[in-house]
Structures are given as C-alpha cells and as structure tokens.
C-alpha cells in the first residue's frame, strides 16, 4: 500500500527566507501529485498539481518538483511571508481515483 511521508512535521523560519518542504512516497506508479495548503479549521486549498509526466510546476513564489523514480517531491517557497504560515500537505493519486495523503508540515513564518 502506498505510504506518503512529510518531513519535517513542523518548521519555523524567519520572514524572507527561502524554504523547501519534502514529500516522499513508496510506490512510484502514481498518476499525479498535488500540494495543498490548510489553514487552521479550514479545508484544503490546492496549490500545485504535477502530472506524472511532468518534472515541476510553478505558481508565483511556489515551485513544486517531482522525481517519480526516487519517490520524492519538493515544494519550494521563495521569500517566505507570515501569510504563508499554514500546514502544507501533499497527496499522490493512483489509477482508480484513489488518493494518499501525507500528514503535513506545519509552517510558521516569523515576522
């Protein structure tokens, strides 16, 4: 069964720093990988979707990469801001429309 791991579980950085969040998965036969943001008490907001044939996707200050063969994805956040403070989750999709989620990285950006 697919297992998705996100390390570290929590991260605290000063404002302005560039940072990388990690997501690893055990089964490389994925359809795509998606990064989400979750604010306390809220639903998940989609940030970036990477199809299995793609290597990376970018949106504003966010860049996500995918290395299927090694079972890894990274989310790069440039010039972090206090408003970026949230929990970031990754999810992989298999055929049959099944999704597997990591437990998330809780990010705090200190002003």
Partner 1 sequence: DGGITQSPKYLFRKEGQNVTLSCEQNLNHDAMYWYRQDPGQGLRLIYYSQIVNDFQKGDIAEGYSVSREKKESFPLTVTSAQKNPTAFYLCASLAENGELFFGEGSRLTVL
- Length, in residues, of the chain: 111
What's the token pair of residue 19?
């940072």
The reply to whether 99 sits near partner 1 by the rule CB under 8 A is: yes
Q: Among 12, 26, 51, 108, which residue interacts with partner 1 (rule: CB under 8 A)?
A: 51
Tokens of 15: 């404002």
Minimum distance, C-beta of residue 80 to partner 1, in the bound complex (Å): 24
Which of 2, 19, 31, 54 is in the footprint of partner 1 by CB under 8 A? 31
111 binds partner 1 (CB under 8 A): no
Number of residues that bind partner 1 (CB under 8 A): 24
φ/ψ bin of 22: left (φ > 0), alpha (ψ from -120 to 50), beta (otherwise): beta
Q: Is 49 in the site for partner 1 (CB under 8 A)?
A: yes
Give CA angle at 55 (39, 82), nearest 5°: 25
* Dihedral sign computed on CA atoms, order 30, 54, 8, 108: negative
Query: Which residues of this protein are in contact with partner 1, per CB under 8 A?
Result: 4, 31-32, 34, 36, 41-46, 49, 51, 89, 91, 93, 97-104
């Amino acid at each position: 069964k697919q297992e998705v791991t996100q390390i570290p579980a929590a991260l605290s950085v000063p404002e302005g720093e560039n940072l990388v969040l990690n997501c690893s998965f055990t089964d490389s036969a994925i359809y795509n990988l998606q990064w989400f943001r979750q604010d306390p008490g809220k639903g998940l907001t989609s940030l970036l979707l990477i199809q299995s044939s793609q290597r990376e996707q970018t949106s504003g200050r966010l860049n996500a990469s995918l290395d299927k063969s090694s079972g890894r994805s990274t989310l790069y956040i440039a010039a972090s801001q206090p408003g970026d403070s949230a929990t970031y989750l990754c999810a992989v999709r298999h055929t049959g429309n099944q999704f597997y989620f990591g437990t998330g990285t809780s990010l705090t950006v200190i002003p």
